Amino acid sequence: MATGDRKGQQIWGGRFAASPSDIMEAINASIDTDRRLAQEDIAGSRAHADMLAEMEIISAEDNEAIQSGLDIVAEEIRNGVFPFDRSLEDIHMNIEARLKTLIGEPAGRLHTARSRNDQVVTDFRLWVRGALAEAGARLAGLQSALVRRAEGHAGTVMPGFTHLQTAQPVTLGHHLLAYVEMIERDRGRLGDAAMRANECPLGAAALAGTGFAIDRDMTCEALGFARPMANSLDAVSARDFALESLAALSVAATHLSRLADEIVLWTSAPFGFASLGDEWSTGSSIMPQKRNPDAAELVRAKAALIAGQFASLQGAVKALPLAYAKDLQDDKALTFAAFDTFDLCARAMTGMMETIAFHPDAMAHAAGQGFSTATDLADWLVRELRLPFREAHHVTGTLVAMAEARSVDLADLSLEEMQGVHAGITRAVFNVLTPERSVESRTSLGGTAPVRVSEQVAQWKKRLGLEKT
């Protein structure tokens, strides 16, 4: 085959006398993945062409032809009729080749003073910036669902756990707001990643900058970046913006997984705290009674996929010398997959939290088991009898052992039995031995008391713009 006969060689083939093998073409092509960057690539080319014309590196007429051709390309991609060609390797070559077909010679001037190295990472940063914003919005939607449910359950008593053992009574509203706080930190991490991703590599060219008198501030401003990247080597090789984004996604997905695991536990028969609707459940092929929380279980599993995609990207870049290496081609596949998976998980968790049916009676019953008010008894001994806490802890432990031996709760012990352990105990102690009184007493900042939960709900509704909804 003569040089230039293959489309792939029309752009970079002057150095080569033979075509790539089919296997080389297959391993080298990224168009099936990076076609998602089409709109970002067009935006970058528009900004670059405008700058080249402004700096009189290309003519105004060439720029006009380029812009008109890019209009057609954008429309073809939107309408699904763009002729993608795997032999052209990637989205950049596909667009440039199509532009040449549409407008001829001016298309060849578009690549002046840039390289695919700065072109692709500019596109990638634009995409990641948008994806981070979308992920943050998804999390805000989940927060809104949690806050609304917390508002309706500010006083719903349930057991709080440590080591998955009954610890102290809490309210369901308080429990749900814990996830709102976690997710707010997740949104902060996504925002931090977006801030550091918001630097423009365009103009770094292959690795050393360019000898053309370009205006990097102009392209930076046109694309909405905060600043041009200051070092051309760093600009084309850095992928820490993608790493940071996937790390933030991984942490956020871990929080989604924790909430999903709560749903799995709460909807199980031994707990019975909640039920998922049909739209978030599946059945069994053999057991007709089953209602499986598969959506929650899948979120729990997919969090591991996102963590794995972060680890894979970190492994790809950890030993790369400056500047660009083809190892970086897979950065996009990993990043796209992580964001796609996260978006699905966030939407699923929001749907489940909007529709899950809670069972307050089952929660209240469980909250009274496992000697959950033992700490309240110890606190009463400190507060009313002025016992040192360690002595109060010992007295309470003795009473718990007594109740456990009789298979009754603390409140079922008689006053005489309690006074047999400590003579100073009075009938007033029974006022603190109910889960309802326990949660009402936890009025410290950040505590589970219904009044504190309602205050937090009001603050979150204001922060999330939910006051009128």
Which residues form the catalytic set?
Answer: 163, 284
Angle at the Cα of 271 from the Cα atoms of 363 and 294, rounded to 5 degrees = 120
Distances (CA, A) of 248 to 72, 108, 211, 342, 415: 37, 40, 38, 11, 54
For the CA atoms of 17, 20, 21, 22, what is the dihedral angle to 10 degrees?
-140
- Scored b (16 or more CB within 10 A) or e, 235-255 reads bbbbbebbbbbbbbbbbbbbb
Q: Which amino acid is at 298?
A: L
Closest CA relative to residue 87, chosen from 10, 15, 34, 33: 10
| DSSP structure class, residue 84 | -
Q: Which two tokens stand for residue 24?
A: 């080389």
What is the chain's length?
Answer: 469
Surface-to-core class of residue 12, CB atoms within 10 Å of its CB (0-12 exposed, 13-18 middle, 19+ buried): exposed
Q: Which two tokens stand for residue 138?
A: 């998804």
| HSE (side-chain half, CA atoms, 13 Å) at 101 | 11
Residue with tokens 């799995």: 264
Q: How far does the chain reach from its first CA to its final CA, in angstroms?
A: 67
Angle at the Cα of 179 from the Cα atoms of 173 and 185, rounded to 5 degrees = 140
How far apart, in whole angstroms, are the C-alpha atoms of residue 464 and residue 462? 5
Q: What is the three-class DSSP state of 362?
A: helix
Centroid of chain to Cα 342: 6
Angle between helices 172-197 and 116-152 (to 10 degrees): 160
Those residues whose C-beta lies under 8 Å from the C-beta of residue 290, and which sit 6 or more positions away, are: 283, 284
| DSSP structure class, residue 83 | -
User: Sign of the C-alpha dihedral, residues 281, 283, 284, 290?
Assistant: positive
Phi, psi of 265 (to 5 degrees): -65, -50
Q: Which two tokens stand for residue 362?
A: 């089952």
